[in-house]
A = this chain, B = another copy of it.
Amino acid sequence: MESGIGEYCGLFGIHDVEHAASLAVLGLNALQHRGQESAGIVSSEGSVLHRRIGLGLVGEVFPDHESLQLLPGRSAIGHVRYSTHGASDYRNTQPFRVVTKDGELAMAHNGNISNARQLRAELERAGVIFQTTTDSEIILHRMARSQCESFVDRLKEGLSGLQGAYSLVFLSREGLVAARDPFGYRPLAMGELEGRTVFASESCAFDIIGASYVRDVEPGELILVNGEGLQSQRIAPQRRPAHCIFELVYFSRPDSKIFGENVDKTRRKLGKALAFEADVDDADITVPVPDSSNTSALGFSRRSETKFELGLIRNHYVGRTFIAPEQKGRTERVKLKFNAVEGVIRGRRVVLVDDSIVRGTTMNKLVDLLRKAGAAEVHVRITSPPVRYPCYYGMDFPDPEELLANQHESLEEIRDAIGADSLAYLSLEGMLRATEKDPRDFCSACFSGCYPEPVEGIDATIDNGKADSLMDHGDAG
């Protein structure tokens, strides 16, 4: 089973409006940063569902008005997906649409079921046929097999017993449904457009269609929207949430509100906290890795009182550009994407701010780009702690042994590996305090190894000694 598939996704759902599918296209466009590999929409005309999916960007799968003609109806759900698996597999493209005893049913999923292996094995033993290799399909089979009376009860029974992360939207003749796992790992917000209900992973999808943010779908909540209005139910009793801190640090758009917080504001505070913990004394300029670190670098530069400069330019057209094998010695992917502005960099002591280091390969090349452009010094500052542990809730990190922080014994060695003059990570505590919530409301397992719930086949009592030791050095960077 390919674990990890189904992560890095964006969801959209809308109920009872004219031209629901064309609104879904707009919403998915705003969520495109959450997944560029495939896109899909299912629209509903009562009991008949229509589906169009494809590989590529939203604008490629839905290139013109005609591509929406086969998606009539007043309700729709949509999905964008990113996958790290080279061969993009058409089978796994969402929303799924199946036929059950409830008639046609469509579903889109953002997250990762952490006990998928066990659930899948149980279902297979019972004779279930799987069409895809995704966790998401498990949810559908569990629902279809429920013998509860009502549709909502069948959905709830299907969700019970799932572990891990799921933000979900469903479409059927019963209406539009949104649901979120009890820990609320992944975001899912509810909005309102002229009296109608909208759901989306991030609020920027509301802005684009002129809808307004109402509230989050609560962790452990299931909301059914149909002709009789809006009905909220609990899947599980209330508990302390475990929102993914990485969504705030890196993944979401700065103009979005997620987990009830303005991403931009949090990201700026992360930069400030980092400057507080690990300023660079004689630096001339603070340079972000564009665009994801722009806001935190602004925060850093304010607090550290070094000038904010756009010393790296990003080429936004590269997309699926390839590099011919014969040019691989000469040019790396990072050079396709970034170029240094020599007039800004030459002779300067540079603080380069980024949100995270995973494998470290990109950071290494960026430092090199800056040096070649004449930087006098390059000091790397990261607005999160070292990533050292796998995520079972939907972030698709490489294997632990490929993580830069696991390949080296000390911060000094990591610094050396990326070629910087100094390096500092933001501390776990500093990161969590930059949010507006109780620090305990977040999952930071990828940094700390402390998982909110036990994980199938994993011994959760991980030794955190190493992570802490890296942190100790953090201030000294």
Interface residue ranges, A against B (CB under 8 Å): 18-19, 22-23, 25-26, 29-30, 32-33, 36, 57-59, 62-65, 68, 70, 87, 98-101, 124-131, 133, 140-141, 144-147, 204, 207-210, 253-255, 262, 264-265, 291, 294-295, 298, 302, 307-310, 313, 315-327, 330-331, 335-336, 339-344
Residues of B within 8 A of A147 (CB): 127
Inter-chain CA distance A97–B261, complex, in Å, is 44
A41 CB to nearest B CB, Å:
12
Inter-chain CA distance A284–B370, complex, in Å, is 32
Residues of B within 8 A of A26 (CB): 323, 327, 331, 336
A415 CB to nearest B CB, Å:
26
Residues of B within 8 A of A33 (CB): 315, 317
A39 CB to nearest B CB, Å:
11
A164 CB to nearest B CB, Å:
20
Tell me if A255 and B29 are in contact (CB < 8 A). no
Residues of B within 8 A of A22 (CB): 324, 326-327
Tell me if B59 and A322 are in contact (CB < 8 A). yes
Tell me if B339 and A208 are in contact (CB < 8 A). yes
Chain B residue nearest to A316 in the complex (CB):
B316
Tell me if A255 and B341 are in contact (CB < 8 A). yes
Tell me if B315 and A29 are in contact (CB < 8 A). yes
A432 CB to nearest B CB, Å:
19
A211 CB to nearest B CB, Å:
10
Residues of B within 8 A of A129 (CB): 98-100, 140-141, 144
Residues of B within 8 A of A23 (CB): 327
Inter-chain CA distance A87–B321, complex, in Å, is 25
A125 CB to nearest B CB, Å:
6
Inter-chain CA distance A277–B174, complex, in Å, is 61
Tell me if A298 and B310 are in contact (CB < 8 A). yes
Tell me if B208 and A317 are in contact (CB < 8 A). no
Tell me if B25 and A98 are in contact (CB < 8 A). no
Tell me if A29 and B309 are in contact (CB < 8 A). no
Inter-chain CA distance A36–B316, complex, in Å, is 12
Given contacts A129-B98, A255-B313, A336-B26, contact A319 B59 (CB under 8 A): yes
Residues of B within 8 A of A316 (CB): 291, 316
- State which of B18, B29, B130, B140 has its C-beta within 8 Å of the C-beta of A100: B130
Tell me if A324 and B65 are in contact (CB < 8 A). yes
- Show 25 residue pairs from A and B whose CB-CB distance is below 8 angstroms, ordered by the A residue: A19-B326, A25-B321, A26-B323, A29-B318, A29-B321, A30-B339, A33-B317, A36-B317, A59-B319, A70-B87, A99-B131, A100-B129, A126-B145, A127-B141, A127-B146, A129-B141, A204-B313, A207-B339, A209-B327, A254-B313, A255-B342, A294-B310, A295-B310, A298-B309, A298-B310
Residues of B within 8 A of A315 (CB): 29-30, 32-33
Tell me if B254 and A324 are in contact (CB < 8 A). no
> Assuming A65-B322, A100-B127, A253-B313, what are 6 further A-B pairs, CB within 8 angstroms?
A59-B318, A63-B322, A99-B131, A129-B144, A204-B339, A295-B310
A136 CB to nearest B CB, Å:
12
Residues of B within 8 A of A131 (CB): 98-99, 131
Inter-chain CA distance A318–B291, complex, in Å, is 16
